[in-house]
Chains A and B, each alone.
Chain A
């Protein structure tokens, strides 16, 4: 992910004029129109902004539609910001349904007093991420809440994508002997945020793994890999994701702890903070369930892609139908891994 600190484009709304968001920026008057006309619409390349709704044609195929809200704190962190997450999260949700993401909406809830410069950085980051992901932000909304009633910026994005294949990608399609592929090391997003919040310093900064994975998924589909299920490892991390799939598919999943890549600094931070990397959120990682005959080919495709360099096989689906996930620990003993009680890391995305 590009570092948004390096943007050199000047904010189109002169800071000397209104350095901070005022309630009037959401009030429907001149200030709101200035924000939309000068910052949001030109950055997102949105034309025809006088309509209440965006209109567009869709290619033939089934349509995927999803929405998500983003409340990450802090707004900016190593490797990304709330803007890149707001685009990647929704793009990745579409990709996990096997869809090619096309269009997004962006709804902003801004807190009075937010520096316009911060909003500018977030908006630019959203557009840069959207371009990378091959999607367009075509409609949106802006509201402002009183100071103290928000936390800078909250963003909602909804997304539409098109399904251009005949596979039915869902937990229900998971089959015994399916192989689990993971596209890289886990836990970097959650730890990047926690390290910042807790003031932990490392030799090298831990960057969030936030990234749009739709292109990588598209390549697997284009190569004819018979994908049974896809899921991104967001809140609750790998352990929670696998539990959700095991429960929904009524299939047992077996993974091997020693096969799951965790970067050394992430492992170290987890030791200090008392976290288990299996439960730490990622924003650019996913698991793919594929039949064994396709596993090697799928893995090779993933490893060729910049977002799958560290891809690996971490386990498989067994013939049991109790819906349990078991982990072979590093000392060779199997145990059940369950969902966590409560939230391990609040406001991570």
Chain B
């Protein structure tokens, strides 16, 4: 298939691996931001092609994983309301809240539906005028335009039984938070190609300059990632610091202006808590006052305030915070594959297909710990 096969070509991948070996003279620690990249690295075994000097650490770029537990709890609360149809991307359904998860709410009779697009949720709202339809808007800058479009359309068409529970997050503030941490080991970044398709990569230039880290905007296929790594390592070896674009077949310097305008029209930048990392200023998107009627958080604020559980984040053996910051690898966790599995996840990185723990479990678990 065009635009896929050539980027999964074994021969080209091996050539890039050789080229990387040829230029490496010392150890480097590089973080791939996006969970989609983590998934590719583990699925294709890209890290096994690299020389031992290169240490890849997996970034916080899995929206499911970083959604704070109090918002999961709020989603569960809304999904349990009798007149609500709660629509979500499939990955969010198994993420554990404080007491339960959305899949269990569905099994207990809640009307929880998996959709592939927020616009599908809008269609459900039109078809069910006597119900309240709530869409769980999560994700990075990549999914924000589609969420914004749903609000825009709902407003234009006067659909008043539709609202959104928003937990959108932004990549650059998270990168800054990681880099300014005293524990940071990151020397170079692979930035997330699809985020930059929307936003461009002007935002990354001040970060690269301030923290003196090369940043390479990178795609998601094996050859993309190997080429991105090659570009990053070449900068590191030559003591250069620049923002480069490996994913040029999708990313433009200024990004997608129309999508950005739509995001700005609907959303404003707000502080956001990241599960496992903590609160990061100016790291999220919230619905503007002008569109407040579509904000499920505001619509049910009083009911939720009364019902709100004492949230319980980061207890137990889960070290997802350290994993999301790249300080530990999934198999460094004592719970990995024992008390924490995709069937009974302790933390979100074990749930999402983009979560580092789930990727390691799916592709590595049985080789790390062969069954008896």
Residues of A within 8 A of B (CB): 198, 258, 264, 267-268, 271, 273-274, 322-324, 329-338, 341-342
Give which listed residue, A274, A322, A335, contacts B371 with CB less than 8 A.
Answer: A322
Mind listing 23 A-B residue pairs with CB under 8 Å?
Answer: A198-B116, A258-B10, A268-B1, A273-B116, A322-B371, A324-B366, A324-B370, A324-B371, A329-B44, A330-B9, A330-B44, A330-B222, A331-B45, A331-B49, A333-B44, A333-B46, A333-B48, A335-B44, A335-B364, A341-B341, A341-B342, A342-B94, A342-B342
Near A by CB (< 8 A), chain B positions 315-351 give 341-343
Q: Is B257 an interface residue (CB 8 A)?
A: no
Q: B342: which A residues are within 8 A, CB to CB?
A: 341-342
Minimum CB–CB distance from B347 to chain A (whole Å) comes to 15
Q: A341: which B residues are within 8 A, CB to CB?
A: 341-343
Give the one of B46, B116, B341, B353 with max A CB within 10 A: B116
**CA–CA, A334 and B44, complex, Å:** 8
Q: Is B362 an interface residue (CB 8 A)?
A: yes
Q: A264: which B residues are within 8 A, CB to CB?
A: 1
| Given A274-B353, A322-B371, A336-B366: A329 in contact with B43 (beta carbons within 8 A) | yes
Near A by CB (< 8 A), chain B positions 350-372 give 353, 362-367, 370-371
Taking a contact as CB atoms under 8 Å apart, the answer to whether A331 and B14 are in contact is: yes
Those 3 A-B pairs whose CB atoms lie nearest each other, nearest first: A333-B45, A341-B342, A331-B13
Taking a contact as CB atoms under 8 Å apart, the answer to whether A335 and B43 are in contact is: yes
Please report the number of residue pairs spanning A and B whose Cβ atoms sit closer than 8 angstroms: 67
| Given A267-B4, A271-B4: A338 in contact with B365 (beta carbons within 8 A) | yes
| Given A324-B370, A330-B8, A330-B10: A336 in contact with B44 (beta carbons within 8 A) | no
| Given A322-B370, A324-B367: 19 more A-B contacts, CB < 8 Å | A258-B10, A267-B1, A267-B4, A271-B4, A273-B116, A322-B371, A324-B370, A330-B8, A330-B10, A330-B222, A331-B45, A332-B13, A333-B49, A335-B45, A336-B365, A338-B362, A341-B341, A342-B342, A342-B343
Minimum CB–CB distance from A116 to chain B (whole Å) comes to 27
**CA–CA, A342 and B371, complex, Å:** 20
Taking a contact as CB atoms under 8 Å apart, the answer to whether A329 and B45 are in contact is: yes
Taking a contact as CB atoms under 8 Å apart, the answer to whether B366 and A332 are in contact is: no
Near A by CB (< 8 A), chain B positions 1-57 give 1, 4, 8-10, 13-14, 43-46, 48-49
Q: A342: which B residues are within 8 A, CB to CB?
A: 94, 342-343
Q: B94: which A residues are within 8 A, CB to CB?
A: 342
Taking a contact as CB atoms under 8 Å apart, the answer to whether A336 and B367 are in contact is: yes
| Given A267-B1, A267-B4: A335 in contact with B13 (beta carbons within 8 A) | no
| Given A336-B364, A336-B367, A341-B343: A331 in contact with B10 (beta carbons within 8 A) | yes
**CA–CA, A333 and B225, complex, Å:** 15
Q: A334: which B residues are within 8 A, CB to CB?
A: 45
Taking a contact as CB atoms under 8 Å apart, the answer to whether B46 and A331 are in contact is: yes
Q: A273: which B residues are within 8 A, CB to CB?
A: 116
Q: B341: which A residues are within 8 A, CB to CB?
A: 341
**CA–CA, A271 and B45, complex, Å:** 19
Q: Which single residue of chain A is at the shortest CB-CB distance from B49?
A: A333
Q: A329: which B residues are within 8 A, CB to CB?
A: 43-45
Taking a contact as CB atoms under 8 Å apart, the answer to whether B370 and A332 are in contact is: no
Taking a contact as CB atoms under 8 Å apart, the answer to whether A336 and B363 are in contact is: yes
**CA–CA, A339 and B1, complex, Å:** 26
Q: B8: which A residues are within 8 A, CB to CB?
A: 330-331
Minimum CB–CB distance from B189 to chain A (whole Å) comes to 22
Q: B4: which A residues are within 8 A, CB to CB?
A: 267, 271
Contact with A along B190-217 (1 / 0, CB 8 A): 0000000000000000000000000000
Taking a contact as CB atoms under 8 Å apart, the answer to whether B367 and A331 are in contact is: no
**CA–CA, A322 and B369, complex, Å:** 11
**CA–CA, A51 and B13, complex, Å:** 67
Give the one of A331, A334, A336, A338 with max B CB within 10 A: A331
Taking a contact as CB atoms under 8 Å apart, the answer to whether A338 and B366 are in contact is: yes
Q: A332: which B residues are within 8 A, CB to CB?
A: 10, 13-14, 49
Q: A198: which B residues are within 8 A, CB to CB?
A: 116
Taking a contact as CB atoms under 8 Å apart, the answer to whether B43 and A331 are in contact is: no
Minimum CB–CB distance from A347 to chain B (whole Å) comes to 13
Q: Which single residue of chain B is at the shortest CB-CB distance from A265?
A: B1
**CA–CA, A330 and B222, complex, Å:** 9
**CA–CA, A341 and B342, complex, Å:** 6
**CA–CA, A337 and B362, complex, Å:** 7
Minimum CB–CB distance from A304 to chain B (whole Å) comes to 29
**CA–CA, A264 and B364, complex, Å:** 28
Q: Which single residue of chain A is at the shortest CB-CB distance from B222?
A: A331
Q: A335: which B residues are within 8 A, CB to CB?
A: 43-45, 363-364, 367
Q: Which single residue of chain B is at the shortest CB-CB distance from A329?
A: B44
**CA–CA, A198 and B9, complex, Å:** 30
Give the one of A258, A330, A334 with max B CB within 10 A: A330
**CA–CA, A55 and B85, complex, Å:** 51
Q: Which single residue of chain B is at the shortest CB-CB distance from A267?
A: B1
**CA–CA, A254 and B193, complex, Å:** 33
**CA–CA, A144 and B14, complex, Å:** 61
Q: Which single residue of chain B is at the shortest CB-CB distance from A247?
A: B371
Q: A267: which B residues are within 8 A, CB to CB?
A: 1, 4
Q: A336: which B residues are within 8 A, CB to CB?
A: 363-367
